[in-house]
Amino acid sequence: MSDPRSPDDDDAPADGATRLVLFLPEDASPARLDKALAVLCEPHSISRSRLRALIEGGAVFSLPGETPLTDPSMTVRGGARFAVRVPPPVEAVPQPEAIPLTVVHEDDHLIVVDKPAGMVVHPAPGAWTGTLVNALLAHCGDTLSGIGGERRPGIVHRIDKDTSGLLVVAKSDVAHRGLSEQFAAHTIERLYTALVWGTPSHADARLAGLPATSFEPGWIRIETTIGRSRTDRKKMAAGVRDGRHAVTRVSVRESLGAASVVECRLETGRTHQIRVHLAHVGHPLVGDQTYGRARVPPRSLTEEARAAITAFPRQALHAATLGFEHPVTAETMRWTSALPGDIADLRTWFHDGVGTST
């Protein structure tokens, strides 16, 4: 049961926000706060992801008392009452910007680009301009698919701001639907190249003893749930209860002593999946300030090499291969992207930086 007006608050918020008052039936089973509110908010067309953002932003309160509820995973029970403050829609239509793009394929239905590190995929708070969407609007004009919504037209998947590499964008609604279905079915081929600390090995007893890992010919399989960290809501974490199932396969391509070049094959596509999984098994990405913790290069490397490795400004991760069935022509398509210069240089510092150090 719900009522968009609170019985004890006759005036709507002055800033135009909508106040919803929601009631859980007395016989309702215990449930997560975000799940319970999602059911109650169905008549108001508010998604669960939007509700999570409202909860974490301090816009959900328990009644009576107006106590803020900021944990989407907290358990709520029958009879509970809530107030949800829904801000008015913000007109934030991205504008075309003449930003150079590396286009590796384009047709009437889709475009594949090689995104540089440092570029945000779609506008968001703190990055309303200079994004891939802004660049695509200038490049493609009005041909981008509208299914993704105003703020991210054509976007069917994304890679992190500081991850470089291949990404496909839909230009027609039929392509958007077809690509989204392939992503949901996990049939898209996505291979990433990364530099990680240490060398994951089938012979490592520690790695073999982890519940998350298993060994396949040539690959180490990492399987966990991934969800929002309980201690830092800006981070993701492995093994979170109620998290989403995630599988990453890792294969070592080159050992560099203190680090190694690995190939990562995604079976699923969760937020920060590769970064979280490799950190979880003790081999975080070189340069990953969020999940890698401070790693000190070994003194077997020269001072120059250690300084260059320490100063590397991003996670060493590159979306190197992308393959799928064209959603309109059914043609099998596959592209590869060479390792960008900064990661190639980083590899060289590990490979050639061995020397006498004082």
Q: Examine the residue annotation and report whether 352 is marked as an active-site residue of this protein.
A: no
Of the candidates 92, 93, 99, 91, the residue with the CA atom closest to the CA atom of residue 138: 99
- Residue 347 near residue 195 (C-beta atoms within 8 A): yes
- Computed from CA positions of residues 148, 149, 154, 157, in that sequence, does the dihedral angle turn out positive or negative? negative
Classify strands 317-325 and 164-170 as parallel, antiparallel or unpaired. parallel
Contact status, residue 81 vs residue 278, Cβ threshold 8 Å: no
Count of CB atoms within 10 A of residue 165's CB?
Answer: 24
Q: Are 353 and 301 in contact (CB under 8 A)?
A: yes
The CA-based angle 349-296-309, given to 5 degrees, is: 25
Backbone torsions φ then ψ of 178, nearest 5 degrees: -65, -45
Max intra-chain CA distance, the chain: 76
- The one-letter amino acid code at 222 reads I
Q: Which of 34, 114, 160, 162 is catalytic?
A: 160
**296 Cβ neighbours under 8 A, 6+ residues apart:** 306, 310
Residue 103 CA to residue 70 CA, distance in Å, equals: 42
Under the phi-then-psi rule, with left for phi > 0, alpha for psi from -120 to 50, and beta for the rest, what region is 58? left
Catalytic center residues: 160
